[in-house]
Homo-oligomer: A and B are copies of this chain.
Amino acid sequence: MLREVARRGSFTAGGQALGFTQSAVSRQVSALEDELGTRLFDRLPRGVRLTEEGRAALVHAEAALERLDAARRDIAALRGLAAGRLRMGAFPTAETELVPRATAAFRTAHPAVSVGVTEGPTHELVGLLRTGEIDLAVITAHPDRVAELPPLALRHLLDDPILVAPPQRHPLAHRGVLGLGELAEETWIADGDTAEETLLSACLRKGFRPRIDYVAREWTAKQGFVAAGLAITLVPSLASSAVRPDIVLAALHPDDAPIRAVYTATAPGVAASASVEGFVPFLVEAAAAMRERAPGRPGT
């Protein structure tokens, strides 16, 4: 009202422009003047004119209205992916290819949305989701144990079968599909020195304790030992594209190792933001592309 009245020079005209009567405007202005303790308009015989105080009030009022408009614009930008930020988390193997591919495609499509990725194991990501520190997580879990997770909104992306990497010269290499039992006598290299901590727990369920002579957390180191023919190791299929060309991968028999599934996860009760809604399809797309490139191995 302040603005319209100031622009038009009378309560009557200002009110008309806003669909109010002169009496409503008169009272509104009066009330504002009372609240501010000063006259905002000089009442002249043919209309009104801003006082010095009125000019000051008008400047600030227009600035305030502009901020409210800016809020609307900002929110529209967020919803249209013309702005915003996506904080996501992923377990390490997912960052070999799945998450980077999806992120690259998303950034090309929506360059104004900034994307941050935190690496961590699934249980940590779940905590970050629940505290609101990340908006979206790529996690992994055995399909029949999903129920053990805290309540989350999950979406299945792909399955991640475990491959085995025997040395080139190994008699079992190039067989294509191996049973885990056939590897009971092999020497292993793994993340930890007991089978329980690693993927090798599958061996325990199969009835033997693998012999772990070498321990290395770094993937590069493991590959070195494998390529030198010193040990064999297990490789999640998600990481298969990062394996050295002189290492051959073979599938494990499906019954031998429970297949881990990969999911996107968001916190329950938290409405998915536009950036989350927008990012998930790129993860789905990247997962599909990876399945196609390695036909017959990682499957849904």
A74 — which chain B residues lie within 8 A by C-beta? 56-57, 60
What separation, in Å, do the CA atoms of A260 and B103 have in the docked complex?
Answer: 86
Judged by a CB distance under 8 angstroms, whether A273 is at the interface is yes
A57 — which chain B residues lie within 8 A by C-beta? 71, 74-75
Judged by a CB distance under 8 angstroms, whether A171 is at the interface is no
Given known contacts A60-B71, A71-B60, A74-B60, A52 and B275 CB-to-CB distance under 8 angstroms: yes
- Asked whether, in the complex, the Cβ of A269 is within 8 Å of the Cβ of B67, the reply is no
- A130 — nearest CB in chain B belongs to which residue? B44
What separation, in Å, do the CA atoms of A273 and B50 have in the docked complex?
Answer: 11
What separation, in Å, do the CA atoms of A52 and B82 have in the docked complex?
Answer: 13
Partner of A269, one of B42, B56, B65, B275: B42
- Asked whether, in the complex, the Cβ of B68 is within 8 Å of the Cβ of A60, the reply is yes
What separation, in Å, do the CA atoms of A286 and B60 have in the docked complex?
Answer: 37
- Asked whether, in the complex, the Cβ of A38 is within 8 Å of the Cβ of B79, the reply is yes
- A84 — nearest CB in chain B belongs to which residue? B52
Judged by a CB distance under 8 angstroms, whether A70 is at the interface is yes
CB distance from A121 to the nearest CB of B (A): 24
A37 — which chain B residues lie within 8 A by C-beta? 75, 79
Question: In the complex, which range does the number of interface residues on chain A fall in?
Answer: 35 or more
- Asked whether, in the complex, the Cβ of A70 is within 8 Å of the Cβ of B60, the reply is yes
Main secondary structure of the interface of A (DSSP, over half): helix
- Asked whether, in the complex, the Cβ of A75 is within 8 Å of the Cβ of B49, the reply is no
CB distance from A7 to the nearest CB of B (A): 16
- Asked whether, in the complex, the Cβ of A68 is within 8 Å of the Cβ of B78, the reply is no
Judged by a CB distance under 8 angstroms, whether A18 is at the interface is no
- Asked whether, in the complex, the Cβ of A56 is within 8 Å of the Cβ of B42, the reply is no
- Asked whether, in the complex, the Cβ of A273 is within 8 Å of the Cβ of B52, the reply is yes
What separation, in Å, do the CA atoms of A59 and B51 have in the docked complex?
Answer: 31
Residues facing B in A52-84 (CB within 8 A) are 52-53, 56-57, 59-61, 63-65, 67-68, 70-72, 74-75, 78-79, 84
Judged by a CB distance under 8 angstroms, whether A289 is at the interface is no
Given known contacts A44-B269, A72-B36, A269-B44, A53 and B79 CB-to-CB distance under 8 angstroms: yes
A63 — which chain B residues lie within 8 A by C-beta? 64, 67
A209 — which chain B residues lie within 8 A by C-beta? none
- A74 — nearest CB in chain B belongs to which residue? B56
In the complex, 8 of the A-B residue pairs with CB atoms within 8 angstroms, ordered by the A residue number, are A36-B72, A39-B271, A42-B267, A51-B273, A52-B84, A53-B79, A60-B68, A61-B67
